[in-house]
Amino acid sequence: TYEQFVWMQKLIQRNNPIWANLAYLTGSFGLFLNGVLNLFRYRNNLTYYESGMLGDKATNWWKLSDQIRLLFMTSIGLIASITQLLAIAGVATYDNLTVWTVLVTYGGFVTACFVVALRMIGYDRAFVKYYDPNSTISHRLFASLAYFYLGEDAYDDWCLIAAVGVLWAWNADSWFWAQWDHMTLEQQQTLLEQYELDMEQNQKRWAQ
């Protein structure tokens, strides 16, 4: 209902800017930690991705998709954590806003689409290998494992995205104004001009 919506808006607006900044830092550092631990510790074994080759020397789509995902998570998590720490100190808030709106949002979307495409290819290759009449029991076992691991990685991603997405969405309003308050007048003017230009273009598009 409208009353519930107003109540939620008031609750969100009560968020302290420092807590909003810390929420974004928590999410970005969590991404970095998850990526770096999996890359260099938990999935660092040379035989970890062996089942992705489906029992022969086929292209390991599982390994390829997973390492791209983890490399992006590590790099973008580190960059966003550094700029967010600077923003908490009131430094480089405009750069921090750019990192989050461009690298994290758009970069994350493009990378996610690419990783999903690689997983779909890997899943299809495992499906073909499993039902190939010439496949051995070993081939079918590796194909079954590839099914499982590809699905498990996708499930883990959705859980992680949901968790940090809720955290960031809940604090987005207070976080943005925390960045805005520490920008220079020139930076604020640049954002306003871009906003007005976008609105003008949208009005022309809607009028057509």
Predicted pLDDT of residue 153:
93
Q: Is 194 within a domain? A: no
Q: Which two tokens stand for residue 17?
A: 């800017």
Helix residue ranges per DSSP H, the chain = 2-13, 17-37, 61-88, 93-98, 108-131, 137-181, 185-207
C-alpha–C-alpha distance, residues 59 and 18, integer Å: 47
Range of the domain at 143: 11-182
Q: Are residues 49 and 60 in contact, defined by beta-carbon separation less than 8 angstroms?
A: yes
Q: Is 203 within a domain? A: no
What percent of the chain lies above the pLDDT cut of 70?
92
Q: Is 118 within a domain? A: yes
Predicted pLDDT of residue 61:
94
Q: Is 191 within a domain? A: no
Q: Is 75 within a domain? A: yes
Number of separate domains in the chain: 1
Q: Is 42 within a domain? A: yes
Predicted pLDDT of residue 6:
57
Query: Which value, to the nearest 10 degrees, does the dihedral of the CA atoms of residues 169, 173, 177, 180 take?
Result: 60
- pLDDT beneath 70: ranges in the chain: 1-15
Q: Measured between alpha carbons, how far is residue 151 from residues 54, 116, 127 in Å? A: 15, 11, 13
Q: Are residues 191 and 181 in contact, defined by beta-carbon separation less than 8 angstroms?
A: no
Predicted pLDDT of residue 14:
53
Q: Is 77 within a domain? A: yes
C-alpha–C-alpha distance, residues 197 and 192, integer Å: 9
Q: Is 103 within a domain? A: yes
